[in-house]
Structures are given as C-alpha cells and as structure tokens.
Amino acid sequence: MATPYRHWEILERSRTGKFLDENDFLPKVFSPTLKKLIKKYDIKYDPKTPCPSDEGMADRIWQAAWDLFRDVGYYNTDSHRIIEIADAEIKEALYMAQGQYTVGGGREARVMKHRSIEDTQPPFCIMSPDITVDEKYHQSMCMAYLKEPLLDGLCGPILEETFGHLIESGGPSEISGCIQHIQNQKMAARLLGRPGVFMVAVGTAEHDSGQIAVSNNEWGVQTTDARLVGSLTEFKTADTLLNRSLHYAQYGSFTGNLTGAIYGGWCGGSEGTAITTVAYSLIGLVIHGAMFNQHFPFHLNYGSNTTRELLWSIAMAGQALSRNSKLLYTSNGFANAGPMTEMLFRETAAHALVSTVTSWQLWEMASTRNKYRNRATPLEARLGCEVGHAVARQGMTREQANEIANRLLAKYENNAADAPMGCEYHECYNAAKAVPTVEHMDMFRRIKDEIAEMGVEFLY
C-alpha cells in the first residue's frame, strides 16, 4: 500500500477537523474553488479533440487537481468535519507510491504497472459487467467473463437476492449475499482452471460489514485480491467507507479507490470533471492508501462516459496522471446502449481506444449506463480489451486515436439520449454453457472489421 500507516492520523482528522454544515460544502467550498482553478490554470475544453495531445494543459490540470485537494480537503458526512491535507503529505505519499504491483496468484499472477502516454505495453484489463444480475445467472456470468483470454482481473456481477431473499444493506442477508457472490466467483475460476485469477470483490457489499465478512484466504476474498472503497460525489466520505479502507489495510488485501466525477453537476463541464478525476487519485492515495484508482466520470443526464465531453476529460486526466506521477488508474467505461447492439460495441471501442493511448488501464464495460439488471455480456468487454491491446502494440499516437474516435462518435453520439437497450445476458448468451449466441458473435465480428478498417490493427 502507499500510506496505510497514516490511517490513524486521517481518522483523527475526520473527527477533529474544521466543522462545516454539509449543505455548505459543495456550493460554498468545492465548486467555487474548482471554478477559480479552471480560470487560474487556463483549462479549456475543445470538442473537436476527444483525444487531445496538449501536454502543457495536462500539467496544468495536475497542478489544479493538487490545489483542489489541498485547498478543499475531504468531507466526512458523519462527523461534518473536513479532513485537511498539506502539500508535504501529498509529496510524501507520491514518493512512497509504487509504480507496479503483482496481483493474483500462481500462474494467474499478473503485474499491473504504471503506463506512459502512447505506451506500447498493453493495458491491464479488468473485466466487469458492472450491473446487477438474477441469482440464477450469477455464476454463469462469472464463468463467461473468466473465459476471456485477455482478462487480467474480474469484478463480478452484483447480487440483489440471496437464496430468494432480498439483500438488505447492513443486515444478515447482505452477509449471505456477499459470501454467495465471492464463492460463485471463486468456484467459476476453479472450474475454468484459473484458480489464482485476480479479483476485485465484492460488489454486492453496500455496507462495511459485508466486505469484512468475506475476508478469508481459504474460501473468500484473498490477500492477492483487491477491494474497493468509494467516494461520495463530490469529495465526500463517511465512516462506513473509512472503515473499509482501514480493514483492507489491516487484512492485507489491495485497496482500490472508486470514484465518479459528475459532468454537469458540481464539477461543471469537461474541464472541472478532468481536474476532479485527477484529484480523486490523490485522495485515493493519501486518504485510503489505495494501490489503484478506478475512475468512471459520467454525464449527469446520460449516465455514460462515451460522449466526446467525457472522452476529453478521460484523456486529459490520464495524461496529467501519467506525466506527473507513477500512480495506477483504471478507466471504467459506461456506455449508453445495451448488449448485442452495434452502438454498444462502437462506444466500447471509442472508450478503450482513447483511454489506452492516454495511459489508462482498462475496466470494461458497463452497458445501459449500468442501470438495468442482466444487461451486460463479456463480448463488449472483449472488444474493448482487444482494441486496447491492438492500439498499444501498434504504437498508435493520440492524433491517430483522435481521428478514429471522431469517426466512431459520428456513428453513435446523436443517439446518446435514446440509445437502444439491447438484450439481456441470457438472450444473447447460452447461460448453461456461458458462451455467446451465433447472432451475437456475428455482430461482434462485423463491428470489429469496421473498426479495423478505421486503422486499429487487431492482433488476431
């Protein structure tokens, strides 16, 4: 970890820091500070470049993010106190941060390491449906993702019921659901001959007690796996979240910081979303001792991040982080369309393309804005990761990626508001065998050929 030995100082500040009414934090502290920094550092969005290559602005975004974290702090909604951080503490955490980690175990062990802009080494690929799923399809979907050869890590689908009971946060049903979740994932990995595969678990846990209940190296989440601790948008935390990061550090598993800056909310536009995303990586490191940061900035109205406004934010945030740190960060795709639609494949390709070229690791892919049960499959994740590997291996430049991204956007961006919902998992996959239908595979191959024609040199 980066700074877990500072947890107790952080926890103390969350009880003794400056008191502020929660209703005042965002409108009177966060947003005014962010607006001033956007103007001070001359951060300007250009809609013509969803994949920009302005390194000077990337460095200014980094400094603006640093100032935002230092000047605003991090707000605890339980104590109504602000956790304040000094420049020296950010510098110390960045100095102590590691540029790579080995995760998973046995022959499935993988190295996740910091990537540079236009890096020719492929991204670390975490695959995740990022949706809830019917209990009867949960293990099948886990197996379907684990069959993907480019998968370096799995974050499984989320359960809402366990043995027919609705899962209630903080109650016995949540503990049961979390145990069922991790055991389904581990069993699927063992059945497919990947027992040591890296997992980020468990998404079913809404409360800290659910996560704590599955920390077990024999049958549960292992110390070679990762756990997530989220932020409350924007720049807020709570005791249950601080409990998680403390437990993860003491248990010894890897910690990931989960954040989603909202375009059109308190962050404002693309500029503020990019700055806030970078600042969240600093928060993850300093506050939670995170080994990596998972970012999913998204559009307030659409709930996605495949529009050009969000692709720009992702691209600029990645470049700012890569040029000024050795941190690890995953780009979590959120698409508008649903499974087995041409639009979803194109959205995924655009997100993976821009993210990879601008230094991100990949986390693919939340379809239908991750709002609808059963609406995700591994095929969109496969396409995103194949695009990521291809553009890295061929040494694609940001200028080339920008041209292809604009061509892809021209095919789908006008349909963002009324994107097709597509099919549910069991309608485009054989759930018993955990394999895609012929129709679904045919569409995958057709769109892959289309993207290849645009200049992506797929490896197979």
Between 151 and 5, name the one with better pLDDT.
151
Residue-wise pLDDT tens digits, 161-214: 999 899 998 899 999 999 999 999 999 999 999 999 999 999 999 899 999 999
Residue-wise pLDDT tens digits, 199-219: 999 999 989 999 999 999 999
Tell me the residue type at 228.
L
Query: Measured between alpha carbons, how far is 268 from 272 in angstroms, rounded to an integer?
Result: 6
Whether pLDDT at 448 is above 50: yes
Whether pLDDT at 111 is above 70: yes
What confidence tier does 439 reach under pLDDT thresholds 50, 70, 90?
A: very high
Q: What share of the chain in percent tops pLDDT 70?
A: 99
Output the pLDDT for position 3: 57
Task: Locate 377 and state its tokens.
Answer: 């499959």
Output the pLDDT for position 25: 98
Please give the C-alpha separations between residue 149 and each of 31, 53, 126, 153, 332, in angstroms, as whole numbers. Answer: 43, 32, 11, 11, 19
Rounded to a whole number of angstroms, the CA Rg of the chain reads: 21
Whether pLDDT at 2 is above 50: no
DSSP code for 119: -
Query: Measured between alpha carbons, how far is 126 from 198 in angstroms, rounded to an integer?
Result: 9
Q: Is the dihedral of CA 456, 259, 44, 114 positive or negative?
A: negative
Query: Measured between alpha carbons, how far is 110 from 228 in angstroms, rounded to an integer?
Result: 19
Output the pLDDT for position 210: 95
Q: What share of the chain in percent tops pLDDT 90?
A: 97
Q: Quote the pTM value.
A: 0.97
Query: Measured between alpha carbons, how far is 156 from 339 in angstroms, rounded to an integer?
Result: 17
Average pLDDT of the residues in 326-333: 98
Domains of the chain: 100-454 (3.20.20.460)
